[in-house]
A and B are shown apart, each in its own frame.
Chain A
Amino acid sequence: MAAYWSNLAMVTSVVVYLLALAAFAAEWASARRLEPVAAPAALLVGSDGQAIGAADDGMPAGVEADHGRANHRVDLFGRMGLGLITVGWLMHLTGVVCRGIAANRLPWANMYEFVTASLLFIVTTYLVLAFRGVRWLGLPVTLLVVIGQGLAVTVLYVAVAPLVPALHSVWFIIHIVGAAIAGAAFNVGGLASILYLLKSRAVRRERVRGYLAKLPSPERIDELAYRFHAFAFPLWTFAVAAGAVWAEYAWGRFWGWDPKETWALVTWVVYASYLHARATAGWRGKRAAVVALIGLACFWFNFVGINLLVSGLHSYAGI
């Protein structure tokens, strides 16, 4: 019964997230109607999103009124998106919780469950951010969640089943929850890094227009990205270490260069490079952000590529 409700809630969440994606896309699209603002002024965006200094450019009053209406519309779509993603999150939460009840254990024993649980962490993080002023991550976050959650319910879905003996351990909770939360933070940080690259490129070319103009300054986006990575990195270290402790219990060696272990290390090293890059002259900013995205790519390859293409000790029944 719980399994039925879980599946229903998961599928519903995909539909609602899709609607949220549409709303956020409309938010970005309608921002195209905003007048492009001159580059220096683009950095000076007031707390209501209105470009400070726009009136000083000698803009006719009518244009300014249009501008206000367009701005209002952008905000309306943004708030719709936020409302929808909140509803989707409730469905998603229900789905994950019911899955756990149906399986009578924590719901992250296979790819389907890990994806849905990790995405739940991502959406939760986003909602906390959004209600504290960082709603502008809406479009990339929703895009990621729609793709991930959509693939989960269609391709990755497996019916509820008990655990294989290899997973009968308290480290099943510690290791995986660490990896899931760190993964969620890496993803949010990576999305922020993408927006940082877009925005800083626009600033460099002095063509800050559309929704990009409504984003905070590149420095602040970068700072947000850094905070997420800085939060995720120790947690990822911990998750890998917890995995090593578990491996010592289960397989009698704490490190065996299993493909999953190797890529966890590769991911770790790339993110370590990111942190070092930020402290190295000539690597700050754009290059560091690219390193962070390489780290995210490694994380994804470890999860998708290694699970599906390479056989190793981390392959379990039913994917």
Chain B
Amino acid sequence: MAQDTVDAQLDEATEPSGRARRSGTLKAPETLRWLWTQLTSMRTSLVLLFALALGAVPGSLLPQRPVSPVRVREFLTSHPQLGGFYDALGLFDVYASAWFAAIYLLLFVSLVGCIIPRIGVYLGGLRAEPPRTPRNLSRMPEHLALATDTPDGLLERAEQVLRKRHFRVRRLDDSISAERGYLRELGNLVFHVSLVVLLCGVAWGTLFGYKGTVAVVEGQSFSNTLTQFDDFRSGGAFRADQLVPFTVKLNSFVAKFETGPVQRGAARVFRAETTTTLNGATTEQALEVNNPLVLGDSTVHLVGHGYAVDVTVKDPSGRVAFAGPVILLPQDGNFLSVGVVKAPFARPERLAFEALFLPTAVDTDNGGTSAFPDALNPLLLLNAWHGPPKEATGLPENVYSLDTTGLTQFSQDGKPLRSTLAPGEIFDLPDGSSIQFHDWKRWVSLQVSSTPGLWLVFGAVLMAVAGLCLSLFIRPRRVWVRVDGARVELAGLDRTEGRGGLDEELALVADGLGLAPTTPAGAGSTASVQSGEVPTSGVPADGAAHDEGKS
């Protein structure tokens, strides 16, 4: 096929149009049409659906860069060869990889190609009448042959009965053709169109949206400008002037943990008391996990918390070289936290401290650990370093880790000097400098984000669910009534599977016409020979299972 395609394209390119082509080749438009037919076939969409399901799996089992870059690095270090292979395939960022995008874009192209013609057909048939009554009604899945004494006006009555049962009715000379369930196809189309709208909504939000995180210590404020974020990601069409100018001041953060025997240490309450300022208006608001702040088109979420230590570092002259809260990063569920206190402007030598904070310290003789996430016995453990002042290079430096090049650790009797401080205590260093641990504070991680088009996404999902319900629960059905002298024929056809009760429908129509069956009920019905099995049940076996799917 590929060669044919190339040939056909060459033919197109080199030969003037109108000349006879070699037989057995396809012209480019035909090839395209062939490809298009293949792509929009149900079989292809099935394959693409499977591919989508399969393709999504590795991202849930391997660490992903956007979520856990550290674990990706660990994986690459421990499995260099396999990791490199995975990396080349994009398996560490599956959902942004080209092949994953190819799958879902092809799926959506296939979907669009499938539904656009169907929309045309649906719109064309919107006011169409049911098809003509077939000649031989006894071939239909359900068929009743009845007798009447009053054939006159029977079709009029049948028309009324069927209209009352929400059928669209077409009157013919000797018969009536009726159909209902047109909403099924509408639901089907609405569902598929909604998926396309959903994708557009997601794309809109991704292009114009942004998301940034920032750690804020109790008592501090955050202003919504680019420079204040610790981490910031935005879509291609985002402009910095989109950022709504607001400030959030964290007055206090309350964290409570389970103290009882069950799930000891589990979080129970997280509540941040904030003062927000937007357009000059100041409000006091509480921020909780499921209760974000809404400021303009941005929302502020509480996504994490931890401990900070409020310290003052003085150099040997007694001058304050550093003062303020230092954010420490929690390492485990009991908030054993680590960080670095840096005093680069201490003189004659700069100072730095490796800090280990234990909110509920136990076992401090063996290095110490934390036994509970709340600060019940807070202790700060410090190692101190000193070194000649460093030239200010302007290069960014990680505030959470200490680069010890050019630094010497303070030691005593050949062992590293180490101090354990309770709040209020001071650690005096051999060179005359000191560090005071005033108290601990909590910090919260705030996520500021804006996702335009959110209403479109959720609106599309709502429409999709509604369309799905229509397309799955509405079952088109055709019913015919034919009068031939005293003989009346009723027939029915379900146009979808999974529906029962056609025989009941016909019986009800017959009943509405005041006709009694002349043939045994259900003769010719396939349903009546199936088993319901329970003799004790008062419900007829066949009627039994009709509605359980909707219960």
Contacting A at CB under 8 A, from B75-119, are 94-95
Contacting B at CB under 8 A, from A143-160, are 158-160
A310 pairs with B60, CB closer than 8 A = yes
Chain B positions within 8 Å of A257 at CB level:
59-60, 64, 66-67, 94-95
- Count chain B residues whose beta carbon lies closer than 8 angstroms to a beta carbon of A: 73
Q: Give complex CA distance A251, B45 in Å.
A: 33
In the assembled complex, how far is the CB of residue A148 from the closest CB belonging to chain B, in whole angstroms?
21
Chain B positions within 8 Å of A49 at CB level:
531, 533, 535
Q: Which chain B residue shows the least CB distance to A245?
A: B458
A283 pairs with B533, CB closer than 8 A = no
In the assembled complex, how far is the CB of residue B91 from the closest CB belonging to chain A, in whole angstroms?
13
Chain B positions within 8 Å of A306 at CB level:
60
* Residue in B60, B269, B462, B540 whose Cβ sees the most chain A Cβ within 10 Å: B60
Is B196 on the interface with A (CB-CB < 8 A)?
no
B465 pairs with A161, CB closer than 8 A = no
Chain A positions within 8 Å of B202 at CB level:
255
Chain A positions within 8 Å of B457 at CB level:
254
A47 pairs with B461, CB closer than 8 A = no
Is B530 on the interface with A (CB-CB < 8 A)?
yes
Q: Give complex CA distance A159, B60 in Å.
A: 30
B530 pairs with A216, CB closer than 8 A = yes
Query: What does the 1/0 interface line of A260-282 toward B look like (CB < 8 Å)?
Result: 00110110011011011111100
Chain A positions within 8 Å of B497 at CB level:
223, 226, 278
Contact of B60 among A161, A238, A255, A263 (CB under 8 A): A263
A269 pairs with B531, CB closer than 8 A = no
Q: Give complex CA distance A256, B544 in Å.
A: 44
B468 pairs with A234, CB closer than 8 A = yes
Q: Give complex CA distance A136, B537 in Å.
A: 13
Is B10 on the interface with A (CB-CB < 8 A)?
no
Chain A positions within 8 Å of B263 at CB level:
158-159, 161, 317-318
Binds B, one of A18-26, A57-65, A111-119, A162-170: A162-170
Contacting A at CB under 8 A, from B483-531, are 497-498, 500, 529-531
Query: Chain A interface mostly helix, strand, loop or mixed?
Result: helix
* Residue in A132, A166, A265, A266 whose Cβ sees the most chain B Cβ within 10 Å: A132
B289 pairs with A166, CB closer than 8 A = yes
Contact of A238 among B42, B291, B465 (CB under 8 A): B465
In the assembled complex, how far is the CB of residue A315 from the closest CB belonging to chain B, in whole angstroms?
11
Q: Which chain B residue shows the least CB distance to A224?
A: B545
Q: Give complex CA distance A143, B427 in Å.
A: 66
Contact of A234 among B258, B469, B534, B544 (CB under 8 A): B469
Chain A positions within 8 Å of B262 at CB level:
158-161, 318
Is A300 on the interface with B (CB-CB < 8 A)?
no
Q: Give complex CA distance A256, B45 in Å.
A: 25
Chain B positions within 8 Å of A266 at CB level:
53, 56-57, 60
B535 pairs with A230, CB closer than 8 A = no
Q: Which chain A residue shows the least CB distance to B66?
A: A257
Contact of A251 among B56, B61, B301, B539 (CB under 8 A): B301
Chain A positions within 8 Å of B260 at CB level:
161
Is B290 on the interface with A (CB-CB < 8 A)?
yes
In the assembled complex, how far is the CB of residue B252 from the closest CB belonging to chain A, in whole angstroms?
16
Contacting A at CB under 8 A, from B244-262, are 258, 260-262
Q: Give complex CA distance A257, B290 in Å.
A: 19
Contacting B at CB under 8 A, from A179-215, are 214-215
Known: A134-B544, A165-B268, A248-B454. A259 touches B60 (CB 8 A): yes
In the assembled complex, how far is the CB of residue A210 from the closest CB belonging to chain B, in whole angstroms?
14
A220 pairs with B449, CB closer than 8 A = no
Known: A133-B544, A165-B267. A250 touches B290 (CB 8 A): yes
A262 pairs with B533, CB closer than 8 A = no
Q: Give complex CA distance A47, B537 in Å.
A: 11
Chain B positions within 8 Å of A214 at CB level:
531, 533
Chain A positions within 8 Å of B540 at CB level:
47
Is A4 on the interface with B (CB-CB < 8 A)?
no
A262 pairs with B49, CB closer than 8 A = no
B531 pairs with A47, CB closer than 8 A = yes
Query: What does the 1/0 interface line of A227-266 toward B look like (CB < 8 Å)?
Result: 1101101100110010011101111111111110011011
A252 pairs with B449, CB closer than 8 A = yes
Q: Give complex CA distance A123, B266 in Å.
A: 33
Is B28 on the interface with A (CB-CB < 8 A)?
no
Known: A129-B545, A227-B498. A215 touches B465 (CB 8 A): no
A262 pairs with B56, CB closer than 8 A = yes
Q: Give complex CA distance A143, B236 in Å.
A: 54
Chain A positions within 8 Å of B303 at CB level:
251-252
Q: Which chain A residue shows the least CB distance to B470?
A: A234
A132 pairs with B545, CB closer than 8 A = yes
A233 pairs with B468, CB closer than 8 A = yes
* Residue in B57, B290, B449 whose Cβ sees the most chain A Cβ within 10 Å: B290
Q: Give complex CA distance A205, B544 in Å.
A: 29
Chain A positions within 8 Å of B328 at CB level:
none
A226 pairs with B498, CB closer than 8 A = yes
Is A68 on the interface with B (CB-CB < 8 A)?
no
Chain B positions within 8 Å of A32 at CB level:
none
A270 pairs with B60, CB closer than 8 A = no
Is B393 on the interface with A (CB-CB < 8 A)?
no
* Residue in B45, B533, B541 whose Cβ sees the most chain A Cβ within 10 Å: B533
B533 pairs with A47, CB closer than 8 A = yes
Query: What does the 1/0 interface line of A38-73 toward B look like (CB < 8 Å)?
Result: 000001111111001000000000000000000000
Is A128 on the interface with B (CB-CB < 8 A)?
yes
Could you jot down 20 A-B contacts, CB within 8 Å? A47-B535, A47-B541, A48-B533, A131-B539, A133-B532, A136-B533, A159-B262, A165-B268, A168-B288, A169-B290, A214-B531, A224-B548, A228-B549, A234-B465, A250-B290, A252-B299, A254-B458, A269-B56, A273-B46, A310-B60
Q: Taking beta carbons and an 8 Å cutoff, which residues of B are in contact with A?
A: 42-43, 45-46, 49-50, 52-53, 56-57, 59-61, 64, 66-67, 94-95, 202, 211, 258, 260-263, 266-270, 288-292, 299, 301, 303, 447, 449, 451, 454, 457-458, 461-462, 464-465, 468-469, 472-473, 497-498, 500, 529-537, 539-541, 544-545, 548-551
Q: Top 8 closest A-B pairs, CB basis?
A: A227-B549, A133-B544, A252-B301, A45-B531, A317-B266, A259-B60, A262-B60, A169-B290
